[in-house]
Amino acid sequence: MEAARTFLPFVTLGLVGVEYLLCRMARHGAYDPGETAASLFLHLGQRLAALATAGLVAVPLAWVAEWRLFDIAMDSAAAWIALFLGVELAYYVHHLAMHRVRWLWATHAVHHSATRMNLSAAIRIGWFGPATGGIVFYLPLVLLGFPPLAVLGMLAANLVWQFFLHAARAPHLGPLEWVLNTPRHHHVHHASNDACLDRNFGGVLILFDRLFGTFAAAPAGEPLRFGLHGQAGPTRNPLAILLREWRRMISDVRQRRGLRARLAALVERP
């Protein structure tokens, strides 16, 4: 486990480098060097921030585990399938909330700021996720009785799958597209076209999007535009990218009058 955590960043950066070279050789304009450099800086900072805020994840998990309703043994395929589906649903709800609650969007917007879709966009992540309470969405699984480490491990595996969803090339995977979240579906999620906003929130599966009405295919005859809605051009300043939505939100909070109005500025839809 520790060996995987040690080498995974190098594998990730290696895959980004390979895709970058392949796109350059094919003259495919999927990479903007300045934007990619900003993504790499943000990735490094996010890794350090995750280490510094690990307690904000570990402590709630350990506390809730003390109050678990059952002891679910992870010694059968059924238990792992149940955990996979539970984490998938929890991620779907968490991801949906990140688009619907401004407090969560302020960090998640960093990931959506890339104007080129490629593997470097996958590692463009905000630094304040643990501090905004994202772990809350996975606590019900621990309360139910799944071991905290198993929940974190399954979530990590889910995120590994999602890394590849950002590939510059998005092949059609046929019937699998009805079940799995694929690069084609995730490109739609990242697009800022009006028909694509707030769609395709799944992690590994696209089933919950189809079930709850948040699925969308790419609009016919309309090229996908990536980046934040209304954003002009590539984003290459890491600190500006990191703080953009936080500054806007804090500014709105300061302008509001009364506690209720200020709280609303934190939780309203972006």
In this predicted model, what pLDDT tens digit does every residue of 182-203 receive, in sequence order? Answer: 999 999 999 999 999 999 999 9
What backbone phi and psi angles, to 5 degrees, belong to 57?
-100, -45
Give 232 or 149, the one with higher predicted confidence.
149
**What's the whole-number mean pLDDT along residues 216-245?**
92
pLDDT recorded at residue 230? 81
The answer to whether the beta carbons of residues 100 and 269 sit under 8 Å apart is yes
Are 242 and 110 in contact by the 8 Å Cβ rule? The answer is: yes
pLDDT at 214 over 70: yes
Identity of residue 179: V
pLDDT digits (tens, 9 = 90+) for 61-117: 999 999 999 999 999 999 999 999 999 999 999 999 999 999 999 999 999 999 999
Please tell me the pTM assigned to this model. Answer: 0.95
> Based on the structure, what is the number of domains in the chain?
1
Number of helices (H) and strands (E), helices first, in the chain? Answer: 12, 0
The SS3 of residue 153 is: helix
Which pLDDT belongs to residue 237? 95
- What whole-number distance in Å separates Cα of residue 239 and Cα of residue 159? 24
**β-pair partners for 191:** 226
Q: Which of 198, 195, 187 is nearest to 226 (CA)?
A: 187
Beta bridge partners of 226: 191
pLDDT tier for residue 1 given thresholds of 50, 70 and 90: low
Q: Give the mean pLDDT of 218-246.
A: 92
pLDDT single digits (tens) 154-172: 999 999 999 999 999 999 9
**Structural domain span for residue 72:** 2-267
User: Would you give the end-to-end CA distance of the chain in angstroms?
Assistant: 38
CA distance 151 to 148: 5
Averaged pLDDT of the chain: 95
